[in-house]
Structure 1
Amino acid sequence: MGTEGVRTDRLGLLLDQFDHARETAEARLAGLGDEEYLWESAPGCWSIRRRGEAVTPRAFGPGEWVLDLGAADIPASEYAEVARQAADGMTVEKIADDWSVSTERVREVLAHTGPPKPDEAPLTTIAWRLGHLHFHFAGPWEWTFGERRREPKLLVDFTPSAGLALERFWAVIDRWRESVDGVTEEQLDTVGFSQYPYSNDAEYPFAAVLAGSNLEFIHHMAEIALLRDLWRIRSAAG
Structure 2
Amino acid sequence: METSGERTDRFGILLDQFDMAREMAQVRLTGLGDEEYLWEPVPGSWSIRRRSEATTPRAFGPGEWVLDKGAPDIPASEYAEIARDVAGGMTIEKIAKDWSVSTQRVEEVLAHTGPVQPDAAPVTTIAWRLGHLHSNFAGDWEWTFGERRRDPHELVDFTPDSALALQRFWATVDRWRESVATVTEGQLDTVGFSQYPYGSNPDEPYICVLSGMNLEFIHHMAEIALLRDLWRARPTAGS
1:60 aligns with 2:60: yes
- Residues of 1 paired with 2:186 and 2:29: CA distance? 36
The aligned residue for residue 78 of structure 1 is 78
The aligned residue for residue 220 of structure 1 is 220
Q: In the alignment, residue 164 of structure 2 is paired with which amino acid?
A: L
Aligned length: 237
Contact map agreement 2:195 2:201 (CA 8 A) in 1? yes
Displacement after TM superposition at 1:118 (Å): 1.2
The aligned residue for residue 17 of structure 1 is 17
- Residues of 2 paired with 1:114 and 1:237: CA distance? 48
The aligned residue for residue 148 of structure 2 is 148
SS in 1 for 2:49: strand
TM-score, normalization by structure 2 = 0.94
Displacement after TM superposition at 1:104 (Å): 3.1
SS in 2 for 1:49: strand
- Residues of 2 paired with 1:107 and 1:185: CA distance? 36
Q: In the alignment, residue 191 of structure 1 is paired with which amino acid?
A: V
The aligned residue for residue 117 of structure 1 is 117
- Residues of 2 paired with 1:178 and 1:148: CA distance? 18
SS in 1 for 2:121: coil
- Residues of 2 paired with 1:121 and 1:95: CA distance? 21
TM-score, normalization by structure 1 = 0.94
Unaligned runs of 5+ in 1: none
Q: In the alignment, residue 167 of structure 1 is paired with which amino acid?
A: Q
- Residues of 1 paired with 2:118 and 2:43: CA distance? 20
- Residues of 1 paired with 2:189 and 2:107: CA distance? 33
Structure 1 residue runs of 4+, over 3 Å off?
84-95, 235-238
- Deviation readout 1:124-177 (Å, 9 max, x if unpaired): 000000000000100000000111111111100000000000000000010011
- Residues of 2 paired with 1:95 and 1:8: CA distance? 35
The aligned residue for residue 189 of structure 2 is 189
Range with bigger deviation, 111-120 or 95-104: 95-104
Correspondences of 1:1-238 after superposition (within 5 Å): 3-87=3-87, 92-234=92-234
Report the RMSD for the aligned CA atoms in angstroms: 1.8
Unaligned runs of 5+ in 2: none
- Deviation readout 1:81-127 (Å, 9 max, x if unpaired): 32344445655444322321123322321221102111110000000
Q: 1:109 to 1:209 in 2, by over 3 A?
A: same
Q: In the alignment, residue 130 of structure 2 is paired with which amino acid?
A: L
SS in 1 for 2:6: coil
- Residues of 2 paired with 1:140 and 1:158: CA distance? 17
| Matched-pair identity in % | 76
Displacement after TM superposition at 1:42 (Å): 0.4
Q: In the alignment, residue 188 of structure 1 is paired with which amino acid?
A: L
- Residues of 1 paired with 2:154 and 2:148: CA distance? 13
- Residues of 1 paired with 2:190 and 2:98: CA distance? 22
Range with bigger deviation, 88-97 or 173-182: 88-97
